[in-house]
Each structure stands twice: as C-alpha cells, then as structure tokens.
Amino acid sequence: MKKILFIEDEAALQKTFKEILTQEGFEVISALDGKTGLELAEKEMPDLILLDLILPKMHGFEVLRKLKEKEETKEIPVIVLTNLERLEDVEKAIELGATTYLVKAHYTLEEVVEKIKKAFK
C-alpha cells in the first residue's frame, strides 16, 4: 500500500482527503504543522507528500527545502497544494523541487486525486 503524507493545518481538509485517499487504496498520515510534517517524513518515509505552504511552526517552502536537502527524503515526490497563486510562489516551489503545484480553488476533489495518482505513475 502506497503511503501519502499530508501536511496541512486545516483539520477539515485533512479529514476529507484522508477519507477519499483511503478509499482509493492509499495509506494516509497527517501532520498539522510544518515541523511535525518534516519529522514524520523522515520517520515514515512516505511515497508521496502533499504539502500546504502557509503552515504553523515551519513554512511550506522551508519544509520543501529541507526535504530536498536530505539524502533520504530528496527522492520523495512533493505536490504543493495551496491557495497562493502568485507566479513567484509557483516558480519558487518548482525551483525547490516540487513535482506539481496545485492552487486549491482551481481544482475539484476528484481532479486533485487524479493528479496524485498520476504522480505515482
């Protein structure tokens, strides 16, 4: 079973994604802040990380940078899922090594799930 780590401070979103991704056959682990997210990534070694950007304790960009710096975690694909849509944020995320950048308001739930499945292929 593929393991997905979802780093997102909004509990309602965590719940929705956990439900749908579990139904799709994934194992979902959650972190509600950036620091815990980074620790969990190192401990659990997920197959994919879903990352919000505006997070308590550690900003999403910082989490992404640290993930890509470490030998053990740098190969894990990271999908950024955020409400920030400024071009410079998108560019920065891609430059730091994010696989995909999704603006929450632009996608339906099923579309996001499709993107996640695609990232595994």
Partner 1 sequence: MRWKKILSELNFINRCKRYNLPLWQCPHFLFLIIGLVDIFLIFTSYALATRYIEDPATAALIVLLVAAILFILDFIIEKSVENLAEANLMKSEFISIASHQLRAPLSSARWALELLLSGRLGKIEEKQRDYFKILKDNLDEMLNLLSDLLIVSKIETGRLPCEKKEFSLVKLTQKLINEYQSLAESLKVKVFLESENDFNVFADPSQIKMAIENLLDNAIRYTKEGGEVKIKILQKDNQIYFEIKDTGVGIPKEEQKYIFQKFFRSSNILQLQPKGTGLGLYIAKSLVERSGGKIGFFSQEGKGSTFWFTLPTKK
Q: For residues 98 and 57, what is the distance between their CA atoms, to the nearest angstrom?
A: 20
Task: Kindly list the residues in this chain that would bind partner 1 in the complex (CB under 8 A).
Answer: 10, 12-13, 15-16, 19-20, 23, 83-85, 87, 104-105, 108-110, 112
- Nearest distance from C-beta of residue 48 to partner 1, angstroms: 18
* Smallest distance, partner 1 to C-beta of residue 33, A: 16
Q: Do residues 78 and 99 lie in contact, with contact meaning Cβ atoms separated by under 8 Å?
A: yes
For residue 102, the minimal CB distance to partner 1 (Å) is: 11
Pick 75 or 108: Cβ nearer partner 1: 108
Query: Cβ-count burial of 109 within 10 angstroms (0-12 exposed, 13-18 middle, 19+ buried)?
Result: exposed
